[in-house]
Structure formats: structure tokens, C-alpha cells
Amino acid sequence: MTAADVITPARYILNDTAKTRWTDPMLLEWTEDGQRDAVKRRPDIYVFSGSEEIVTPDPGEVAATSTTLVIEEAYRSALVNYVCWRALSQEIDRNDDAEAQNYFKLYLAELAK
């Protein structure tokens, strides 16, 4: 699974397919944050690559479409919800973050499966 597999559906949910509200590097950073958080909560979903440790690249170094993620494909929707939560939580003009919190709850529920 690549970061684009998470970022593309997140952009649809966030109504930002034109990439005007959030940049790819921002969404990539949140995807990687979600990946780290997911593995911390559920170490069993980490996908190993041989005996080498997989290091998440700096968001500025690799295009979002090619970054390989290190958790199981089954948790893609959890990461999508995490990215949506982070994006909506970052909006300055939001008066109510209930929508953002709902995405975080969905993220946690997906991890519990």
C-alpha cells in the first residue's frame, strides 16, 4: 500500500481533490503520523520487510504517490480517517470540531477490528 492509497480517498472525503486546502506534503506527513500511531496502538499490524527496519522518509524527500506504508492493507480506511481527522482539526476557521472528532473515533474503531 502506498501513501497515495490513503491520500486520494482522504482528498475525496475532504472535498479537496484540487489540492487547494491541503498540500500533498501535509497529507503525507499526517499519513505517516497515523501509520506510527497505528503501529504504536497495534504492533501486530506492522509489515516487516525482511530483516531490515523500514524507515519512514521525510515528507519533503519522496512524492506522496510512491511512499510505501508499513501497515497491513486492511487498515487503509483507518489511516484515511486519521488523515481526515488531522486535516479538519487544523482548519483555523472551524467553530466546531465534532466532525473532526468523529473521524478520530472512526480511526480508533477501525484499528480495533
pLDDT score at 73 = 87
Q: pLDDT tens across 35-70, in order?
A: 989 988 998 888 765 444 444 444 444 344 457 777
To the question of pTM greater than 0.85 for the whole model, the response is no
pLDDT score at 96 = 64
Average pLDDT of the residues of the chain: 82
Q: Identify residue 54 by its one-letter amino acid code.
A: I
59-62's contacts with Cβ under 8 Å and 24+ in sequence apart are 59/25, 59/26, 59/28, 59/29, 59/32, 60/25, 62/28
pLDDT score at 66 = 56
Angle between helix 98-111 and helix 76-90 axes, rounded to 10 deg: 160
Q: What percent of the chain has pLDDT over 70?
A: 79
